[in-house]
Copies of this chain bind each other. A is one copy, B any other.
Amino acid sequence: MKKFINNPKNFVNEMIEGILFAHPEKLKCINNDLRCLVRADKIKKGKVGIMTGGGSGHLPLFLGYVGNNLIDGAAVGGVFQSPSAEQMYQVTKEIDQGSGVLYLYGNYTGDIINFDMASEMADMDGIKTMQVLGNDDCASSIKGEENKRRGVAGLVFAFKTAGAYAEEGASLGEVARVAQKTVDNTRTMGVALSPCIIPEVGHSTFEIGDDEMEIGMGIHGEPGINRGKLMTADDTVVVMLDHIFRDYEYKTGDEAAVIINGLGATPLEELYIIYRKVHLTLQDKGIKVHRIYIGEFATSMEMAGMSISLLKLDDELKRLIDTPCDSPFYKQV
């Protein structure tokens, strides 16, 4: 295991300490619990709160999107583990400004169980909550079973749109509607070239040949839909976009936001070679790229690989995608 770490047991807490040392004006923990993070600035009275939560090992996901015009708080779990319901509840109480809190997170069983419990705890305090689950990974279950799909990088679109809308003063129901619309309009396909190592486990999450790639693999190493020989960048894009377009229809004239997301070890050079083919393919189909995000948005530590996310935009989503935002990990001007 070749990592810059100290004791594997301290991996998550030392990472968060580093983040809080680096960005004290942006992020703070509450109740002396490093796993309960909220915005350091004052949240507007009456603003709907938005929180997320999930396992560590995916930076900038999840805590990296806590910021202005984004989300207000995050509960942080161990590597690939859900945070506790209690931690979610503590963040809920902290960010609620009297108008309720949206739970916006990825569709994973452990997180769902804990957010459900947190929601009940909040309810007893008279804090209204709603839940929207990211399930953009269209490799993870067949069409018609969208509710079984995992949430991956596309969740960032929902942080962006729901975050901007909440800041505008929208009600909880309205913020949830926009988050759900964003999720419903988003499709992601991923591909992995190499595994990662969970620090406390100490060995690779899976094995893959030197000449192999796995299309559709999840960000925790969940099995994909096809393992085969490494293809060229262009052929890889064609296969991935074909899958997305079979799942979600685009017509000439549609507009999209695009994320080309590195899973951790893939160089920026390669992500731009990928984007080149994505751009040409969308252009051929008459789809206009309204906004493009290229870099690392939802990773799996040192996993090599990438994902492509497309969000179909309407006028409302375009406006919200274009709103400036600012977190230590993502700035849009």
Contacts and interface: CB of A to CB of B under 8 A. Distances in A.
Contacts of A15: 269-270, 272-273, 276
A270 to B, nearest CB: 4
A267 B2 contact: no
A46 B331 CA distance: 30
Contacts of A332: 331
A32 interface: no
Interface in A1-32: 2-6, 11, 14-19, 21-23
A186 interface: no
A296 interface: yes
Interface stretch (A132-140, A146-154, A230-238): A230-238
Nearest to A303: B267
B304 A2 contact: yes
A156 interface: no
B304 A18 contact: no
Interface string A260-278: 0000111111111111100
Given A11-B273, A15-B272, A333-B331, A302 B4 contact: no
Interface in A161-201: 193-194
A233 B6 contact: yes
Interface of A: 2-6, 11, 14-19, 21-23, 56-57, 59-60, 193-194, 210-211, 213, 230, 232-234, 236, 264-276, 279-280, 292, 294, 296, 299, 301-302, 304, 306, 326, 331-333
19 contacts: A4-B236, A4-B271, A4-B273, A5-B270, A6-B234, A6-B273, A11-B269, A15-B270, A15-B272, A15-B273, A16-B272, A21-B276, A21-B279, A22-B275, A22-B279, A59-B269, A267-B301, A267-B302, A333-B333
